[in-house]
Amino acid sequence: MSNRRRDTRIRIEAELAATKAELERANRALALNALAGAIAHELSQPLTAVALNGLAALRHLGGGGCEVAALRESLQHIVSDADRARGIIANFRASAAGLAARLETVDIADVVVEALGILDGELRGAAILVDNRVAAGLPPVTGDRLRLRQLFLNLVTNAVQALSGVLDRPRRLTISAEARDGRLVVGVCDNGPGLDPAVASRIFEAGISGRPDGLGLGLFLCRTIVQDHGGEIAVAAQSRETLFHVALPVPASGA
């Protein structure tokens, strides 16, 4: 091989190595951005709840006569929301450390009740009529309970935000579930404005938001959670209705 050809090959190899290193750096930066976004997204609700309950506790203290029962309730909320934030961080740490998700037998009816309980303040604040039709006795699924709860927290939070603009009719949120063909299909439906056509076909992608202050991560995280559980998520919307369907596989013994 001539000296010139060898030099050219060495130069091309060096350029290729540099490009590869650059791509790896960009990939790592993207992964870190996605992780930071996911942590910010999941922690913002419990932290907001802690701050609101802290303010409520201070109000109870400052009201002259201290309302002990109300104060205790606010403090209990603070402890459980802080605990929830700790659980979220522990989950992220475990997955960053490469530990497999903790799989449990999960009753979706319980998870839905938990998510609605956590968002009770937001739902009441927006005067949303909640119709939880998820019956007891449905077959359980196998999964990571905290992540499944996060899935419903994200869907219900979106519904609350969508319904906040509804002024001409009662605001409704309906959650239902049924076992069908070896899967548990859960529907989360609101009578908000339907989907913004500008984002409708891409709402499960990261960074796609129809709200000025949205990160566009909630549904991306929902889809990741559902897919990690071997399931599927879909949306159907029309004016005055948005319906999300989550289908999760039911283990053979529970079908």
Ligand X SMILES: Nc1ncnc2c1ncn2[C@@H]1O[C@H](COP(=O)(O)OP(=O)(O)OP(=O)(O)O)[C@@H](O)[C@H]1O
Stretch that binds Mg ion, among 53-61, 113-121, 138-146, 215-223 (CB under 5 A): 215-223
In contact, 122 and 160? CB cutoff 8 Å:
yes
Count of residues in the chain: 255
Strands 171-180 and 183-190, how do they pair? antiparallel
Instruction: Among 118, 134, 195, 248, indicate the residue that binds ligand X (CB under 6 A).
Output: 195
Strands 241-249 and 183-190, how do they pair? antiparallel
Instruction: Among 141, 192, 225, 229, indicate the residue that binds ligand X (CB under 6 A).
Output: 192
Instruction: Among 39, 211, 227, 255, indicate the residue that binds ligand X (CB under 6 A).
Output: 211
The C-alpha atoms of residue 225 and residue 215 are separated, in whole angstroms, by 17
Instruction: Among 110, 209, 232, 245, indicate the residue that binds ligand X (CB under 6 A).
Output: 209
Helix (H, G, I), strand (E, B) or coil at 172: strand
Residue 148 neighbours by CB under 8 Å, 6+ apart = 106, 108, 111, 141, 225, 229
Report, in Å, the least distance between residue 59 CB and ligand X.
Answer: 28
Which CB atom, from 139 or from 187, has the smaller least distance to Mg ion? 187
Residue 169 neighbours by CB under 8 Å, 6+ apart = 191, 240
**DSSP helix, strand, coil percent of the chain (3-state; round to 5):** 55, 20, 25
Taking CB under 6 A as the rule, which mask of x and - marks residues 212-251 in contact with ligand X?
Answer: --xxxxxxx---------------------x---------
Report, in Å, the least distance between residue 105 CB and ligand X.
Answer: 28
Counting residues that bind Mg ion (by CB under 5 A) gives: 2
Which CB atom, from 139 or from 193, has the smaller least distance to ligand X? 193
Taking CB under 6 A as the rule, which mask of x and - marks residues 93-132 in contact with ligand X?
Answer: ----------------------------------------
Helix (H, G, I), strand (E, B) or coil at 201: helix
Q: Which residue has the tokens 């599927």?
A: 232
Of 45-84, binders to ligand X (CB under 6 A) are: none
Instruction: Among 46, 143, 218, 231, indicate the residue that binds Mg ion (CB under 5 A).
Output: 218
Where does this chain bind Mg ion (CB under 5 A)? 158, 218
